[in-house]
Amino acid sequence: QMQLVQSGTEVKKPGASVKVSCKASGYTLTAYYLHWVRQAPGQGLEWMGWINPNAGGTNYAQKFEGRVTMTRDTSISTAYLELNGLTSDDSAVYFCARLATMGIQPKFDPWGQGTLVTVSS
């Protein structure tokens, strides 16, 4: 059974950085692109970017360029999201999601359980 398991809740101060992990099981991490999506409290889903776990290439949403880094460690089947220069606007639940390739166009399935990041002084 394909599964993505994320790291636990984080509380950070403004200006700090956060690194969230996403461990894949039930499939080979390097076989599918891995995306990150966030959701602020009471808000909708916001796509942040993807990493190709095989070659390490990335594509970030313009909004996060220069502040986000997506990496992976294939030896432990884990992908990472690092976000720098945190502000209160970055308080959100961060999800990883595997790119699903069945059908015509790319979609997300499955998703990790989410990691709550709270930015507060």
Partner 1 sequence: SYVLTQPPSVSVAPGKTARVTCGTDYFGSITVHWYQQRPGQAPVLLVYDDTDRASGISERFSGSNSGNTATLTISGVEAGDEADYYCQVWDASNDVYVFGPGTKVSV
Residue ranges binding partner 1 (CB under 8 A): 35, 37, 44-47, 59, 61, 95, 97, 100, 102-114
Q: Write down the least CB distance from residue 61 to partner 1, Å.
A: 7
Q: Which is nearer to partner 1, 55 or 102 (by Cβ)?
A: 102
Q: Which is nearer to partner 1, 18 or 22 (by Cβ)?
A: 22
Distance spanning both ends of the chain, measured CA to CA: 40
Q: Which is nearer to partner 1, 6 or 78 (by Cβ)?
A: 6
Nearest partner of 11 among 88, 67, 113, judged by Cα = 88
Q: Write down the least CB distance from residue 42 to partner 1, Å.
A: 10
In angstroms, the CA 86 to CA 19 distance is 11
Phi-psi region of 69 (alpha: psi -120 to 50; beta: other; left: phi over 0): beta
Q: Write down the least CB distance from residue 13 to partner 1, Å.
A: 26
Q: Is-cis flag, bond preceding 110, omega within 30? A: yes
Q: Write down the least CB distance from residue 35 to partner 1, Å.
A: 7
How many other β-carbons are positioned within 10 Å of the β-carbon of residue 41? 9
Q: Which is nearer to partner 1, 10 or 16 (by Cβ)?
A: 10
Nearest partner of 79 among 101, 91, 95, judged by Cα = 95
